[in-house]
Chain A
Amino acid sequence: QLHLQESGPGLMKPSETLSLTCTVSGGSISNSSDSWVWIRQSPGKAMEWIGNVFSSGSTYYNPSLKSRVTMSVDTSKNQFSLNLKSLTAADTAIYYCAREGGGSTPVTYFDSWGQGTLVTVSS
């Protein structure tokens, strides 16, 4: 059973850079058929996909956040990370890490999630 756990600061100031880490246990992050994603949910809004990172280091970001996002993977620690720069109050959200898989189907889905970590951006 795959387990994902987010970690990082809960309170940030505007203009700062957020750094979050997701630690994966119960499986290897190096499985080439999977990718690892960050998703967030701001108060009262729908969940928002932030981007994907593959074990190779390749990334794919939501165009609406692309200019501020960097994702990376550390296979030696079985972790992947999110950096989000130039924070504003609009970045206040619960941030989730997840695995995107597809198994034998061409449809992809998020089949394992962390519990989420609340990040508040406030001066």
Chain B
Amino acid sequence: DIRLTQSPSSLSASVGDRVTFTCRASQNIRNNLNWYQHKPGKAPRLLIYAASSLQSGVPSRFSGSGTGADFTLTITSLQREDGAIYYCQQSFSRNTFGQGSKLEIK
């Protein structure tokens, strides 16, 4: 199976900050990489698909980039409601997920 390694595992930032999460795949997955936001007790939410395409209804402060094996999710102008766990997921071969990056808003 393709392993996805996310970093950092947790991060604390303030409203208005810019934060970046990384996701590294164990092999080339082209652009078959998606990002999700998950708040406890709620349904996970698709943010970015195909590495860099913004899902409909998602604020433009979220952006994704990368191809091959290295990907990033960036949140600019952080809002309080962005506190959540962020997961990457690959759909290149037998869907797998990263372990997640927890974002705390100070």
Residues of A within 8 A of B (CB): 4, 46-49, 62-63, 96, 98, 105, 107-116
Contact = CB atoms under 8 A, between A and B. Distances in A.
- If over half of A's interface residues share one DSSP class (helix, strand or loop), that class is named, otherwise mixed; here it is strand
Contacts of B89: 47, 109-110
Interface in B30-45: 31-32, 34, 36, 41-45
Contacts of B26: none
Contacts, number: 56
Contacts of A114: 43
Q: What bracket does the count of chain B residues touching chain A fall in?
A: 20 to 34
Given A46-B97, A46-B100, A105-B53, A111 B46 contact: yes
- If over half of B's interface residues share one DSSP class (helix, strand or loop), that class is named, otherwise mixed; here it is loop
B55 interface: yes
A109 B49 contact: yes
Interface of B: 4, 31-32, 34, 36, 41-46, 49-51, 53, 55, 87, 89, 91, 94-100
A46 B100 CA distance: 7
Contact of A49 (B34, B42, B87, B94): B94
Given A46-B99, A107-B34, A62 B94 contact: yes
Given A109-B34, A110-B34, A96 B44 contact: yes
B50 A110 contact: no
